[in-house]
Amino acid sequence: MGRMKVDGLAVVAVLFASFMLSGIYRDWSSGGPISDDEQSDREILSLQNPIPESPPVAEKLTSNIFVISQPIESSLFDHDSIQMPYADYAVTQGVHGYEYGHLAIDITAGKGVEIQSLINGEISANFTDPVGSTIIMIENERWQITLVHGIFSASVGDFVRKGQVIGIESNQGNTVDLQGRSCRGRDCGYHTHINIFDKRSGVNVNPLDLFPE
């Protein structure tokens, strides 16, 4: 009887030890409690081989989205604003063309000086007339501007801003010197002929009324 009791206790002790060992194994394999030394070893390994963090989902979703916002210049829609084609100029001939209601003037700033657009508008014509005079027209809802004798660089259909360069002053076509002699093939007669038609009133206007000397 005594031997059987001892053997029974031995069996119970072996089973209890097996149970404890299996519990410790489960804890270790499933990330359960670990010793202080093992924790230190794991921290050292994580510092040596850090695991990169994934970027936030929102960042991934918006990384290729760009919002571009550019204000539209309100001045581009100002059809009433008008200026002369040169900052500095001299009037070489006052208002003329009364016989056909043209009311044009001739001004000069000098050979090769840049001609600027008088308005915000579209180039509606650019051609050479039968006598060789070069002609360009700029239009918007308010004005129709005709310029003559320049070497013009803007093309039909171009939208130009007030002050934008559209050519240079020249003596193309039927121009004359101070004595009234033709400047064809001669270095003289450089000027710009200007006519301004007001669509609102339906008549040509005197440029000198808009731009006093």
Q: What 3 state SS string does 12-76 have?
A: HHHHHHHHHHHHHHHHHHCCCCCCHHHHHHHHHHHHHCCCCCCCCHHHHHHCCCCCCCCCCCHHH
CA–CA distance from 162 to each of 78, 121, 187 (Å)? 10, 8, 30
The pLDDT assigned to 57 comes to 40
Tell me which residues of the chain have a pLDDT lower than 70. Answer: 1-77, 212-213
Among residues 119, 83, 89, which one has the least CA distance to residue 107? Answer: 89
| pLDDT confidence of residue 200 | 95
Domains of the chain: 2-62 (no CATH), 81-210 (2.70.70.10)
Answer left, alpha or beta for residue 185, where phi above 0 means left and psi between -120 and 50 means alpha. Answer: left
Distance CA(144)–CA(150), nearest Å, equals 17
Length of the chain: 213
What is residue 130's predicted lDDT score, i.e. its pLDDT?
A: 95
